[in-house]
Structure 1
Amino acid sequence: MPDTLTLAFFAAAIPAVMLVGLSKGGIGGAIGLLGVPLMSLAVDPVRAAAIFLPILILMDLVALWSWRNHNDAKTLLMILPGGVIGIALGWATSAYVSDNALRLVIATATILFTLRYFWQVYGPHSNRPVVALPHRPAAATFWGALSGYASFVAHAGGPPFQIYVLPMRLDPKSYTGASIRFFAIVNAVKVIPYFLLGALDRENLTISATLLPVALVSTMAGAAVVKHLRAETFYPMTYGLALLAGLKLLWDGLPI
């Protein structure tokens, strides 16, 4: 067995996988951002991301089954091409672009985006209805590409996806179904460049396998919770988690 499998590793890895599993189940992509940083307390961040990828793919399969009857096909078709472009850019530029620079860009956009929402909903003009935005092809490509890029380098594609999709105010179940399908495809595409970079070696795959039961249970639990949430609860919660994720990315990206 790999030397990595110590008590200290599991103390960091099990909570990390549980958070990502709850996120994959639909509770909110934002809390999933804590997975890699938390596991990085026990192993280096690049290895943590590699260990997580097979786990994420299993979570995707469970989530796809749990949400098989819910989707927004147009949203998925609009944002997915950008996601694939972002993965390709991440692979091509992984040796040249600073991870911290990417974290700061995503963090700034996410924080401003969520603060705008809370100002609209709870500010002095909160009695005005929040108008749902239509699809915007250019915005879908841009935010989809940023999501795919961030997902490739740090499994942190949730906030850019939310910046594009949340303002359309989809039904929570349709939103969750589209989100799960988007990231399931993104994670599947990421397997090829991860293998070519040598990140998915036998030892990392063995470690991933030991954590799969935790992934399975936590993903199913997340799906069970979200299916009972109403829109007036789901959206403030999701925006709040996105704000926390933006602050976490900002902290990680600052040169301190």
Structure 2
Amino acid sequence: MPEVLDLTFFAFAIPAVIFAGVSKGGFGSGAAFAATPLLALILDPGAAIGLMLPLLMLMDVTALKPYWKKWDGPSAWALILGAVPGVVLGGLIYKAVDPDLFRLLIGLVALGFVAFQAAVKLRLWTPSGRHLSDRAGRLAGVVGGLTSFISHAGGPPAAVFLLSRGLDKTTYQATTVIVFWAINLMKFIPYAFLGIFTWQTAKADLFLIPFAVIGVWLGVWAHRVFSERAYFALTYALLVVTGGKLVFDALT
């Protein structure tokens, strides 16, 4: 963290936090983690994830009420149960493994899934029609828990699984809200033990709390106003952008 919370810091941090809040609130779901790479342009990666976690937890709580009990239970449980060993593994290897490896893998998964969906839409590929199983969901949860721990990048694995289940936009969003509420709770104590939180990140969070809440409210409003087609089109577009950003960051 910079010693002084100056204009440059807030010029990056405020848009990043509002964007994450809009995504958490239900518009462009799964792309909230893109805020972390933006902050990493001006902060050490460890400081960026330490700054974002309390704000993401606040966003989770703010978003729970409008989506309460609207989630798909089996899908949510599959992801949450898988995330437990993923978060544990993330805590064990956090300081030993280059985060770029995880950025590369998750970015390729996100881009590959969008390419697959495009092939289906263009009738270049005819799928079997089966949704991904709960076992696949648990695997996605492991990957999501691990990458969420490393860089808050658990959105794409969850999106790959949930988009395959044929959920409507509200059920989809509610499921991501409850899943990442649980995953972020799991991450808090390990982050504290690893020294990822600092007094400086806590001080910055106090200034950014209003923007986190505003972002969520904007996301809930946009979720209700825009059509399901527009919602999922934006979700796929953001998967391309964020997946490409992760791959670019990993390779450069």
Q: Per the shorter chain, which TM-score range?
A: over 0.9
SS in structure 1 of the partner of residue 5 of structure 2: coil
> Which residue is equivalent to 2:236?
239
Question: What is the CA distance between 1:233 and its match in structure 2?
Answer: 2.4
Q: Structure 1 residue 173 and structure 2 residue 183: aligned? A: no
Distance 1:135 1:124 in 2: 20
Matched AA of 1:244: V
SS at match of 2:65: helix
Runs of 4+ in structure 1 deviating by more than 6 angstroms, as ranges, are: none
Q: Which residue of 2 aligns with 1:92?
A: 92
SS at match of 2:97: coil
Q: CA contact under 8 A between 1:132 and 1:167: conserved in structure 2?
A: no
Cα 1:69–1:131 shift into 2, 3 Å: farther
Correspondence for 2:72: 72
Q: Is 1:227 the counterpart of 2:224 in the alignment?
A: yes
| 1:68 counterpart SS class | coil
* Counterpart position of 2:200: 203
Are 1:29 and 2:26 an aligned pair? no
Within 5 Å, give how 1:25-174 maps onto structure 2: 25-121=25-121, 123-124=122-123, 133-174=130-171
Provide, for residues 108-146 of structure 1, a one-character-per-residue CA deviation record: whole Å limited to 9, x for no partner.
Answer: 11111101101211x1459x7x77643513211211110
Q: Which moved more, 1:138-147 or 1:61-70?
A: 61-70
Cα distance between partner residues in 1 of 2:225 and 2:70: 14
C-alpha change, 1:73 and 1:137, in structure 2 (3 Å) is: closer
Counterpart among 198, 209, 220 of residue 212 in structure 1: 209
Cα distance per residue 1:214-247 (max 9 Å; x no partner): 0000111101111233332222221121111111
Distance, in Å, in 2 between the alignment partners of 1:137 and 1:72 is 12
Q: Could you tell me how far apart the structure 2 residues matched to 1:171 and 1:101 are?
A: 33
TM-score (norm 1): 0.92
Moved more, 200-209 or 163-172: 200-209
SS at structure 1 position matched to 2:114: helix
Moved more, 54-63 or 236-245: 236-245
Q: Number of aligned pairs?
A: 251
Output the CA distance in 2 between the equivalents of 1:131 and 1:227.
Answer: 32
TM-score (norm 2): 0.93
AA at the equivalent of 1:156: A
1:25–1:63 Cα contact (<8 Å) kept: yes
Do 1:51 and 1:204's aligned partners in 2 also have CA atoms closer than 8 Å?
yes
2:130, 2:85 → 1: CA distance?
A: 24
Q: Following TM superposition, by how much is the alpha carbon of 1:18 offset from its aligned partner in structure 2, in angstroms?
A: 1.0
**RMSD between aligned residues:** 1.8
154-163 vs 24-33, which moves further: 24-33
The whole-number CA distance in structure 2 between the counterparts of 1:170 and 1:132 is 14
The equivalent residue for 2:246 is 249
Q: Contact 2:145–2:183 (CA<8 Å) still a contact in 1?
A: yes
